[in-house]
Chains A and B, each alone.
Chain A
């Protein structure tokens, strides 16, 4: 009985996961930042990260950037993942991926 319950539970989780995958959009954003003389790498990373996340709104083909409420957009992001980081002399490059529910993107985060 317990085995059946576990199987049903796992199946439900998998189905839920697949449904959630279908309703999400993978976002991509990147940013480059030139480090100042007295600027720490950690600060630069933070600035560059925020910039990359904001740039994600410009990379959505379905909507022009001005049609997205950026505050809502940033709040609704999930699974933010650093995909690529390079530091070439003083030039920092970060590329992030994140996910957002389509319902949120085309719903409350879209400008009416």
Chain B
């Protein structure tokens, strides 16, 4: 019984088949094991891949939410916004100073729009660089050249940073690493065709400024008043005619007289020098006639000072006897802002227009009621703190002239007329100066002190800066932009038909609707005032190519 089993064990036939079968089994088992493992890993990868796509979509959704927010209100992203979507969450915020690597942003007016998302354990982040200015301000110079002129900039000028001119450029002098782009396809070196689409002129919402300017009422009265309040009088005519005395000698009269029929030497024209205290404002003028009453009837008298009728009066009487003294006053209306036509510090004319009964006059006095005051709309050598004004707004309905003043903000200076600032005037940061006409600044004035302490100027009809140092945003929507002998840091925007830069150093960017003329000037692309959270009428833009996932 045992032997057949041993014999079979000793028999080697079928060994090879068995071994190979085992080997194949083992190999197949190993392959099956790895195949199963690969299948598991692949499904995990596929799941991760899908989640990754969802996270990327969500991070872009966050950016989109951020862009919509800053389009309408740039300051609305001052603090982060979070949201949930598709079983994930996103977080979007604006950083004004640092990029995603915590490095400083290239320019002051750039901001980082950063979005983060997390979905199914997958996190993604992305960012955009946004500018608080429209795209054209990313250039050193942009000109829409609406009038189809030719841009020419000789070697006396230098432009550091790219420029775009919508038309032909005849000559240009560019710094290294700066490109002059033109809309002309056949442009040749050093001018480069920009390619399509061409950059567009930014749209400015003027209502930001016109709404405020249309609300201007009242007058600016300087706190530095001068002159005196009171009444001053002067005898301007003391005739010495007639055959008898009229009024008693009271120090003003010499007793004698003249009559309207010519007797005694009557005259309808007289003059007198300004006699009110210097700096005073003439409010009311009284012409006093002292003499006998009219000779039987009514005397109609209308005296005028420098052609301005004081008033018309009638004087009835029947007594024109000697030693008969009476008084007739002709009084003007009260003029708070000064009697029209009165000449300060000069000779004034006094004329009579009269009719009716004959009258004899002993003397004529001019009596002036005056007040200590300032000239409305004029400020000289004074400190103007806008926080002392209602709504921090200095308003003047008319032309406003500020000479040698120190204006501290923040706040507004608004005028319905021209604004002229001169004489080493200093304007602090945060001051916004808007004019319904033109703004002219000269006399070594200082506007703002840095790109973070800057001013905003808006001239509806024009902007003219001469010999000054300025930081801020400068807008001319009228017919003229003229910058001369000045150093300007910031953004210049002009819709004017005539743009002139002469002996100017502009650190920032200039954008014009029409051609511009450069003479001995430097334009250096640089930081602009950060308008984050400020409504200037411009819409923010995305810096092209700034999208990055990290």
Q: Which residues of A contact B (CB under 8 A)?
A: 21-28, 58-65, 99, 101-102, 106
Contact = CB atoms under 8 A, between A and B. Distances in A.
A61 B257 CA distance: 8
22 contacts: A22-B316, A22-B318, A24-B296, A25-B295, A25-B296, A25-B318, A25-B320, A26-B318, A28-B319, A28-B324, A58-B243, A59-B244, A59-B321, A60-B295, A61-B259, A61-B320, A64-B242, A64-B243, A102-B296, A102-B297, A102-B357, A106-B261
A61 B258 CA distance: 9
A63 B242 CA distance: 8
Given A25-B295, A61-B320, A62-B259, 17 more contacts: A22-B296, A22-B316, A25-B320, A28-B319, A28-B321, A28-B324, A58-B243, A58-B244, A59-B321, A61-B246, A61-B257, A61-B324, A61-B360, A62-B295, A64-B263, A101-B296, A106-B358
A28 B298 CA distance: 20
Nearest to A28: B321
B164 to A, nearest CB: 86
B322 interface: yes
B318 A24 contact: yes
Nearest to B297: A22
B298 A61 contact: no
A65 B244 CA distance: 10
A18 to B, nearest CB: 10
Interface string B294-314: 011110000000000000000
Contacts of A21: 318
Interface residues of B, number: 24
A27 B321 contact: yes
Given A22-B297, A23-B296, A102-B295, A61 B242 contact: yes
Contacts of A63: 263
Contacts of B297: 22-23, 102
Given A58-B244, A64-B243, A22 B298 contact: yes
Interface string B205-217: 0000000000000
Contacts of A26: 318-319, 321
Contacts of B244: 58-59, 61
A58 B297 CA distance: 20
Nearest to B259: A62
A61 B318 contact: no
B80 to A, nearest CB: 93
Contacts of B292: 61
Contacts of B259: 61-62
Given A22-B296, A24-B296, A62 B263 contact: yes
Q: Considering residues A27, A61, A65, which has the most beta carbons from chain B within 10 angstroms of its beta carbon? A: A61
